[in-house]
Amino acid sequence: MSSNSQPTTIYQQDVPRRHAPITATGVLGWMRANLFRTWFDSILTVVATLFLISAIIGFIEWTVGAANWYSVLRNLSNLMVGSLQASPEALVRVNLMTLLLAFGIGVSLRAWSRVGLRGWLWTAGVSALFVVIPALTSTLPLPPSMVTSGSIAVVSGSVSETPISTFTFIGRAGETIRLAVADEAGQDDQNLASISAFGDRAADALINAARAQVAAQTRLAEIERLLSDESLAAGQRALLTSERDNLTEDVEVISERYALNSADVAVRVLAADGETVLVEGLLSPGGEALTYTLPEDGWYILDHAVQAEEANTLLQLQGVYPVLERSVTRTRLDADGNPMVSRTGQTQTESFIQHVRLTDDFTTEAAVPRIDGEDVTRYLFVNNQYRGIRDLTDYLVLHFGPFFERTGRAVLPSVGLVALGYLLMQLLDRVLPPVPPAPKLSRRVAFWLWFAMPFVVYFIIAGTDARNWGGLFLTFLLTAVGIVLSFPIGVLLALGRRADDLPVVKYFCILVIEFVRGVPLITVLFLASLALPLVNPALSEVPGAVRAMVAITIFSAAYLAENVRGGLQSIPPGQVEAAKALGMNPVQVTLRITLPQALRAVIPALVGQCISLFKDTSLVAIVGLADLTRIADIIVAQAEYIGLRRETYLFVAALYFIFSFAMAYVSRKIELSGSGAARQVQL
């Protein structure tokens, strides 16, 4: 070979390394590669972006301008714990459990992860929102109430509303109410149409009529402008002329038709007894306002009378706001403040009516005032809703601020406990640093904490009545119990199904898995709640929630078994051979080699299953349990929240999303931990 071969060519000159071109890296490179690679991509990107923008703008407009979040705001504790909210003791227990879980999360964060400066800043920033937003919005003025005083029924379209002259409202001692004629709003139709405030039905009709009037005027001006064009075709001209004639017949100035704000109004504020006159006065258009400081908490009656035969006057009230009427069930207490227990051992409950002011949490249980034995019309949310298109200020003060204030009461302590857990563990690791290769002490604490958690939570929850479990709390319980119990069962089923040398076990496992997978969850729930008591009547004593837990556990275990089996099948046979060759017995091989790898391989599927289990728990509504979704159903079925489906379900959806997303996030973290990080390199 060596005699006749040519020498090899040698390239001595080195080619220097350069940076990648700017168009291939960074944001620009990413956009080029992902958004505008081809003309088709570009079109898709533009269309999708436009769609997204319009959807977001539409959502914000709706949220700020029209959405009514009272169904959520006023039912937060209902959505969280359902009927448990009636028992103060149960609430303490649920709160305790929540804080304990938050603490556990904090401990785990320290044990298995790190919170950097950025994390702390984010946490602090988001937590601050719950303080700052309510503080800022509470400085904004509340919208007034528009009340129509007068004798002419207001007609708008097919609606005819007669002004109501006497109504009752609630207020607090020391609060000042201010009554005046709504001069500006009643001035002309333009102003009338742009009212945004709480108001009675007659005011609503006035606003709507004024809007129609303004719209008609605009159209008339438009028609006049078109008709002035000489070159207009005869047919067109005829059409426009007839439209103009039709319109002019309809158009009339609303403020003139109802003689708006032309007459004085005599007003009186009466005490709850319906007789004592607290203050009275005469409000005249353009005149002074009447202010009065309420002497005590409770009901007041306002009556007003227009001082003319045929006139309507619009009043603007400050400090008078709609109330929600709600029925509350709570534990009956005896004279010493202890819960009353019936002979059968059940705690006695009582129901009564509460009135809650819409703009804050002021609540009264006092009886509604009566005059001459008849209930007085209440200034109730159903009749005195917000009228008009809401502006940003009103949205902030009525919805945005209160929402953050109320949720903050739950979020802030929880975040605090997470931080406490984290910092305590940091201190622990610092005071008692681990001796390598021993694991961090915090990790040991976290392990034992989560090991003990189910027992502690059980101990805490056992003190509450399972029949009253509801809301997000029930959803969580069903999910947590489903996951925790179905995990070992599912793993055993998976191992059993692969036990080729134990045919009885194998076929039993196959039977269970395939039977359960072959029926819908609803069927399993029905079986647990209806069929089981037929088998053994004693089982009907078991609370429905517990029976649902059993059903969900069995159902979830069957699916989990199949996921785990998939993971087991993905383990290369060489792993088992290597372990066997090292002298490990089958149990050791399973526990130390195959199962850990199999579970790690199917983390995405397992978490996916947890997430779908979390959402599937909403099916328990079918067997009469009041989980989160069911509570939402119940809320929107109530008279005062009619028409608030969208808001209610949107909030519920957001809750489901937040927790599902958190689960997915934790799953990704686990996937990337330990050997998962190494696996990424290998791929």
CB-side exposure of 100: number of CA atoms within 13 Å?
Answer: 18
- Interface with other proteins includes 8 (CB under 8 A)? no
Among 32, 237, 517, 679, binds other proteins (CB under 8 A): 679
Q: Distance between CA atoms of 644 and 647, rounded to whole angstroms? A: 6
- Binding map of other proteins across residues 458-477, x = CB under 8 A, - = no contact: --------------------
Among 307, 331, 597, 612, binds other proteins (CB under 8 A): 597
Among 575, 612, 638, 660, binds other proteins (CB under 8 A): 575
The residue whose two tokens read 């997000």 is: 472
Among 128, 289, 578, 662, binds other proteins (CB under 8 A): 578
Smallest distance, other proteins to C-beta of residue 600, A:
6
- Interface with other proteins includes 574 (CB under 8 A)? yes
Q: Which is nearer to other proteins, 7 or 437 (CB)?
A: 437
In this structure, is the dihedral angle defined by the CA atoms of residues 474, 478, 483 and 484, taken in order, positive or negative? positive
- Interface with other proteins includes 502 (CB under 8 A)? no
Helix (H) / strand (E) element for 171: namely strand 166-171
Q: Which is nearer to other proteins, 27 or 681 (CB)?
A: 681
- Interface with other proteins includes 572 (CB under 8 A)? yes
Say how many C-beta atoms besides its own lie within 10 A of residue 192's C-beta. 29
- Which residue type is seen at 449? L
- Interface with other proteins includes 583 (CB under 8 A)? yes
DSSP string, 102-160: HHHHHHHHHHH----HHHHHHHHHHHHHHHHHHHHHTTSPPP-EEEEEESSPEEETTEE
Contact stretch for other proteins (CB under 8 A) within 97-105, 304-312, 589-597, 619-627: 589-597
Smallest distance, other proteins to C-beta of residue 646, A:
47
Smallest distance, other proteins to C-beta of residue 674, A:
7
Q: Which is nearer to other proteins, 26 or 674 (CB)?
A: 674
Smallest distance, other proteins to C-beta of residue 433, A:
18
Contacting other proteins within 432-461 (CB under 8 A) = 437
Contacting other proteins within 641-660 (CB under 8 A) = none
Measured in degrees and rounded to the nearest 5, phi and psi for residue 545 equal -65, -40
Residue 388, token pair as written in the block = 């008009």
Smallest distance, other proteins to C-beta of residue 577, A:
5
Q: Which is nearer to other proteins, 141 or 583 (CB)?
A: 583
DSSP string, 286-300: TSPPEEEE--SSEEE
Q: Distance between CA atoms of 333 and 343, rounded to whole angstroms? A: 15
Smallest distance, other proteins to C-beta of residue 680, A:
8
- Interface with other proteins includes 678 (CB under 8 A)? yes
Contact stretch for other proteins (CB under 8 A) within 270-278, 301-309, 374-382, 588-596: 588-596
The residue whose two tokens read 């020498």 is: 7
Q: Distance between CA atoms of 284 and 556, rounded to whole angstroms? A: 71
| Omega within 30 of 0 (cis) for the link into 437 | yes
Among 210, 491, 493, 579, binds other proteins (CB under 8 A): 579
- Interface with other proteins includes 581 (CB under 8 A)? yes
CA 157 to chain centre: 36
CA angle centred on 564, ends 559 and 566, rounded to 5°:
100
Among 172, 330, 580, 615, binds other proteins (CB under 8 A): 580
Say how many C-beta atoms besides its own lie within 10 A of residue 472's C-beta. 20
Are the C-beta atoms of residues 298 and 273 closer than 8 Å to each other?
Answer: no
- Interface with other proteins includes 593 (CB under 8 A)? yes
Say which residues have a Cβ less than 8 Å from residue 423's Cβ, sequence separation at least 6.
106
Say which residues have a Cβ less than 8 Å from residue 489's Cβ, sequence separation at least 6.
553, 554, 557, 560, 561
Contact stretch for other proteins (CB under 8 A) within 148-156, 422-430, 532-540, 592-600: 592-600
Smallest distance, other proteins to C-beta of residue 556, A:
25
- Interface with other proteins includes 596 (CB under 8 A)? yes
Q: Which is nearer to other proteins, 424 or 571 (CB)?
A: 571
With b for 16 or more beta-carbon neighbours within 10 A and e for fewer, the 279-301 pattern comes to eebebbbeeeebebebeeebbbb
Contact stretch for other proteins (CB under 8 A) within 100-108, 397-405, 460-468, 572-580: 572-580
- Interface with other proteins includes 682 (CB under 8 A)? yes
Among 444, 600, 615, 645, binds other proteins (CB under 8 A): 600
- Interface with other proteins includes 592 (CB under 8 A)? yes
Q: Which is nearer to other proteins, 274 or 676 (CB)?
A: 676
Q: Which is nearer to other proteins, 485 or 602 (CB)?
A: 602
Smallest distance, other proteins to C-beta of residue 598, A:
10
Q: Could you list the beta-strand ranges (E) of 175-306.
A: 176-181, 197-199, 265-271, 277-283, 290-293, 298-306
Q: Which is nearer to other proteins, 602 or 652 (CB)?
A: 602
Are the C-beta atoms of residues 320 and 103 closer than 8 Å to each other?
Answer: no
Contact stretch for other proteins (CB under 8 A) within 124-132, 289-297, 567-575, 610-618: 567-575
Contact stretch for other proteins (CB under 8 A) within 153-161, 334-342, 381-389, 581-589: 581-589
Contact stretch for other proteins (CB under 8 A) within 36-44, 288-296, 300-308, 582-590: 582-590
Q: Distance between CA atoms of 644 and 448, rounded to whole angstroms? A: 45
Say which residues have a Cβ less than 8 Å from residue 477's Cβ, sequence separation at least 6.
461, 469, 545, 549
- Interface with other proteins includes 585 (CB under 8 A)? yes
Contact stretch for other proteins (CB under 8 A) within 496-504, 545-553, 663-671, 675-683: 675-683
Counting Cβ atoms within 10 Å, is residue 657 exposed (0-12), middle (13-18) or buried (19+)?
exposed
Smallest distance, other proteins to C-beta of residue 440, A:
15
Q: Which residues pair with 312 in a beta bridge?
A: 150
- Interface with other proteins includes 584 (CB under 8 A)? yes
Q: Which is nearer to other proteins, 333 or 672 (CB)?
A: 672
Smallest distance, other proteins to C-beta of residue 604, A:
16
Q: Distance between CA atoms of 523 and 373, rounded to whole angstroms? A: 54
Say which residues have a Cβ less than 8 Å from residue 505's Cβ, sequence separation at least 6.
496, 499
Smallest distance, other proteins to C-beta of residue 595, A:
10
Say how many C-beta atoms besides its own lie within 10 A of residue 466's C-beta. 15
Q: Distance between CA atoms of 590 and 579, rounded to whole angstroms? A: 10
Smallest distance, other proteins to C-beta of residue 487, A:
18
- Residues binding other proteins: number (CB under 8 A): 26
- Interface with other proteins includes 334 (CB under 8 A)? no
List interacting residues with other proteins (CB under 8 A): 437, 572, 574-575, 577-585, 588, 592-593, 596-597, 600, 674-675, 677-679, 681-682
